[in-house]
């Protein structure tokens, strides 16, 4: 089957032609060359080139005439010629399996095999690309190891006889496949490791062994599902046939298990996009996108650039915003908080190219002025959220632009913008009737006029905060007309009386959170009315208010909805108030007693054990919880001291 010149029947010796006279069966070798056994028996000990190929052919076909170039004597040459003749007469795998070598023939073969193996001309073995490009099943050669005894004769059978492997469908090899060490990947059997190591030293190419003729076609296909993990100069398919010599380590050993070298890139792109969605912009741009081109394309997917969070990145400047705006015009959310390198030019450019922008956040960007916010209002009609706290250069002009062009605005945060006055706030309230959240903090130029304007022109308000503003009870009383009000922040209001607070609680039936911290005018009577009238109230903050144990007892006695009570820094709270509210309240889940010096720590320890469903906040209890979380995360005092 594997005879070098089997295509030319006239060159065969007479004995071979006589044997094939009855059965004229053409044995066409796909590789245009002999099998390994024919090379070993008839090959030359020296290298063969184009000039002496005729001499090689003559030595093969005229074994009895002494033309075979080997180191053995005349008797060995005649025996090897007989061996070649017997082997060439075989026509079926069964005959090949029954082909046995006598001990004398085996000794002759073993003596010549090692030196003649290097005589195989590389040009006679076509490249592996032929196997993948062929449209029909291809018979493939297999490397035969040098046996040590006659028991290994079965491995010398030419497996190209009647053995076919179906062609595998090629697929794209991911660029990020990691190379495998020289030792190869872990294989299912150890039969091929010795051959691989012994032949690697001679510099010969290895051909992957094929499954036996009795195995099904499906197992043959599964055997070639290995990835090209070695450094090939040509890109290999992840599902290509293992006929390539570089895949010897992936498919080594006769009858070994199939090696699963699947990559993460085999997952659907939708799953990878879901994984990448949990990464920040910095992690996607500086880490994931640098792995391979496929990951870079996934990181540039439009869904990752709809919501851009660049907060805290000092490398961000106007040029980056211009590039984002020019390439990604579907941006809906932008966060540039603490980006000191961003100027008005970058924000204006992004606003001009992204008309669909809906949410804009820029805390502590003191370098930005009215120009950026005015450009957003002019080019982004869908703008619904603007958080620009702590911007000193922001004035009423920007608020007037928002009132003129941003009728869809629903959420605005202007805390610590000290240049804003009632003029800008009134214009904003008139132009944004859909406003639902307004938060001001330490805006000393904002007075009751602004509170009244929002209460009249923005009936959908749900969250209102005027912490530290120049607001009095005359302005707060107008909030009673807000039927949808659910959260009210009135911290540090200098002129706030108890009657106004009680009236707001009575009229605003949906109020769930009330913050009255730092108001010394709030007393026990006001808290009692709040507990009685606040049917939907769940959170009540009374830090540094003028209350005693009677306020806590009233909350536990009259309220069935309040879950959070913070009475920190109230100097008149004692053990009695803490014990009574914990005992009588059915809904309480958090009780803040920070710096309530008249509450003993032993009492708090007893309450923690007695009422485990309530979180008690004191200095000692907070320290214990912090230490507990540190232990759960793996922290230990020994490692801390060592570091």
Stretch among 253-267, 276-290, 506-520 having the lowest mean pLDDT: 253-267
Q: Which 8-state DSSP code applies to residue 101?
A: -
Sign of CA dihedral 18, 116, 114, 110: positive
Taking the C-alpha atoms of residue 518 and residue 541, their distance in angstroms, rounded to an integer, is: 10
**What's the mean pLDDT when you consider all of the chain?**
73
Instruction: State both tokens at 525.
Output: 């009577």
pTM higher than the cut 0.85: no
Contacts 24+ apart (CB under 8 A), 99-102: 99/153, 99/157, 100/150, 100/153, 101/150, 101/153, 101/156
Sign of CA dihedral 588, 593, 598, 604: positive
Taking the C-alpha atoms of residue 422 and residue 448, their distance in angstroms, rounded to an integer, is: 9
The model's pLDDT over 177-208, given as tens digits with 9 standing for 90+, comes to 444 444 443 443 444 444 433 343 444 444 44
What three-state secondary structure class fits 296? Answer: helix
Range picked from 26-40, 305-319, 454-468 for highest mean pLDDT: 454-468
Taking the C-alpha atoms of residue 637 and residue 643, their distance in angstroms, rounded to an integer, is: 10
Higher pLDDT, 549 or 164: 549
Taking the C-alpha atoms of residue 304 and residue 306, their distance in angstroms, rounded to an integer, is: 6
Our measurement of the distance from residue 178's CA atom to the centroid of its chain's CA atoms, rounded to an integer in Å, reads 17
Q: Which pLDDT belongs to residue 113?
A: 57
The model's pLDDT over 392-421, given as tens digits with 9 standing for 90+, comes to 899 999 999 999 999 999 999 999 999 999
| Helix (DSSP H) and strand (DSSP E) numbers for the chain | 26, 13
Q: Which pLDDT belongs to residue 328?
A: 72
pLDDT of residue 88 exceeding 90: no
How much of the chain is in helix, strand and coil states, percent to nearest 5? 40, 10, 50
The model's pLDDT over 22-61, given as tens digits with 9 standing for 90+, comes to 544 444 444 444 444 444 444 444 444 444 444 434 443 4
Q: Which pLDDT belongs to residue 196?
A: 38
Q: Which of 207, 80, 224 is nearest to 145 (CA)?
A: 207
Taking the C-alpha atoms of residue 139 and residue 162, their distance in angstroms, rounded to an integer, is: 8
The CB density around residue 521, as the number of other CB atoms within 10 Å, is 17
Taking the C-alpha atoms of residue 520 and residue 84, their distance in angstroms, rounded to an integer, is: 111
Taking the C-alpha atoms of residue 314 and residue 334, their distance in angstroms, rounded to an integer, is: 15
Q: Which 8-state DSSP code applies to residue 267?
A: S
The alpha helices in 150-260, defined as continuous H runs, are 193-200, 217-223
Taking the C-alpha atoms of residue 421 and residue 400, their distance in angstroms, rounded to an integer, is: 11
Strands (E), 295-413: 307-309, 333-335, 359-361, 385-387, 411-413
pLDDT band at 247 (very low <50, low <70, confident <90, very high): very low
Q: Which pLDDT belongs to residue 608?
A: 96
Q: Which of 217, 193, 209 is nearest to 36 (CA)?
A: 209
Q: Residue range 129-144: average pLDDT?
A: 42
Taking the C-alpha atoms of residue 491 and residue 439, their distance in angstroms, rounded to an integer, is: 12
Higher pLDDT, 426 or 12: 426
CA distances from 313 to 306, 307, 317, 449 (A): 18, 16, 9, 39
Q: Residue range 612-633: average pLDDT?
A: 94
Contact in structure between 228 and 118 (CB atoms under 8 Å): no
Taking the C-alpha atoms of residue 532 and residue 559, their distance in angstroms, rounded to an integer, is: 6
Would you list the DSSP string of 557-600?
A: HH-SS--EEE-TT-TB--HHHHHHHHHH-SS--EEE-TT-TTS-
């Amino acid at each position: 089957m594997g005879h070098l010149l089997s295509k030319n029947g006239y060159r065969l010796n007479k004995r071979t032609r006589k044997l094939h006279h009855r059965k004229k069966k053409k044995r066409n070798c796909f590789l245009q060359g002999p099998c390994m056994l024919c090379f070993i028996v008839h090959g030359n000990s020296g290298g063969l080139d184009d000039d002496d190929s005729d001499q090689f052919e003559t030595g093969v076909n005229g074994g009895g005439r002494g033309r075979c170039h080997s180191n053995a004597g005349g008797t060995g040459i005649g025996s090897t010629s007989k061996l070649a003749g017997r082997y060439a007469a075989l026509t079926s795998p069964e005959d090949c399996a029954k082909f046995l070598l006598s001990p004398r023939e085996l000794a002759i073969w073993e003596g010549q095999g090692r030196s003649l193996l290097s005589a195989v001309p590389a040009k006679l073995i076509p490249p592996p690309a032929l196997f993948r490009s062929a449209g029909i099943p291809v018979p493939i050669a297999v490397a035969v190891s040098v046996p040590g005894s006659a028991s290994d004769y079965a491995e010398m059978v030419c497996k190209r006889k009647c053995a076919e492997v179906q062609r595998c469908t090629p697929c794209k090899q991911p660029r990020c496949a990691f190379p495998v060490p020289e030792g190869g990947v872990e294989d299912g059997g150890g039969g091929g490791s010795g051959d691989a190591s012994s032949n690697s030293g001679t510099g010969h190419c290895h051909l992957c062994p094929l499954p036996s003729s009795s195995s099904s076609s499906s197992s043959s296909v599964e055997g070639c599902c290995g990835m090209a993990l070695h450094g090939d100069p040509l890109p290999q398919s992840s599902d290509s046939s293992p006929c390539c010599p570089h895949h010897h380590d992936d498919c080594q050993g006769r009858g070994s298990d199939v090696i699963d070298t699947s990559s993460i890139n085999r997952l659907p792109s939708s799953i990878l996009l879901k994984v990448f969605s949990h990464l920040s912009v910095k992690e996607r741009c500086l880490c994931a996108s640098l792995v391979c081109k496929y990951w870079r394309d996934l990181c540039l997917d439009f869904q990752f650039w709809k919501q851009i969070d660049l907060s805290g990145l000092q490398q961000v400047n106007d040029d980056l915003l211009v590039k984002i705006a020019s390439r990604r015009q579907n941006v809906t959310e932008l966060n540039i908080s603490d980006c000191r390198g961003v100027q008005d030019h970058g924000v204006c450019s992004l606003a001009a190219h992204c008309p669909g922008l809906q949410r804009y956040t820029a805390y502590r960007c003191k370098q930005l002025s009215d120009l950026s916010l005015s450009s957003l209002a002019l080019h982004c009609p869908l703008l619904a959220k603007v958080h620009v706290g702590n911007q000193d250069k922001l004035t009423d002009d920007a608020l007037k632009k928002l009132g003129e062009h941003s009728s869809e605005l629903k959420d605005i945060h202007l805390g610590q913008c000290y240049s804003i006055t009632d003029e800008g706030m009134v214009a904003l309230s008139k132009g944004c009737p859909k406003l639902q959240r307004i938060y001001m903090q330490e805006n000393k130029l904002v007075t009751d006029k602004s509170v009244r304007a929002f209460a009249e022109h923005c009936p959908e308000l749900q969250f209102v905060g005027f912490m530290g503003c120049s607001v009095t009870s005359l302005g707060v009383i107008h909030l009673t007309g807000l039927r949808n009000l659910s959260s009210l922040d009135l911290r540090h209001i200098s002129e706030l009386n108890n009657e106004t607070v009680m009236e707001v609680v009575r009229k605003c039936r949906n109020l769930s959170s009330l913050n009255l911290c730092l108001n010394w005018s709030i007393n026990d009577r006001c808290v009692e009315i709040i507990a009685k009238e606040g049917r939907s109230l769940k959170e009540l903050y009374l830090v540094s208010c003028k209350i005693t144990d009677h306020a806590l007892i009233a909350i536990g006695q009259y309220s069935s909805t309040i879950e959070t009570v913070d009475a920190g820094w109230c100097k008149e709270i004692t053990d009695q108030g803490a014990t009574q509210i914990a005992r009588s309240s059915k809904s309480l889940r958090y009780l803040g007693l920070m710096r309530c010096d008249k509450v003993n720590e032993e009492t708090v320890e007893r309450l923690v054990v007695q009422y485990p469903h309530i979180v008690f906040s004191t200095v000692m209890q907070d320290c214990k919880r912090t230490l507990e979380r540190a232990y759960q995360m793996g922290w230990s005092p020994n490692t801390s001291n060592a570091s």
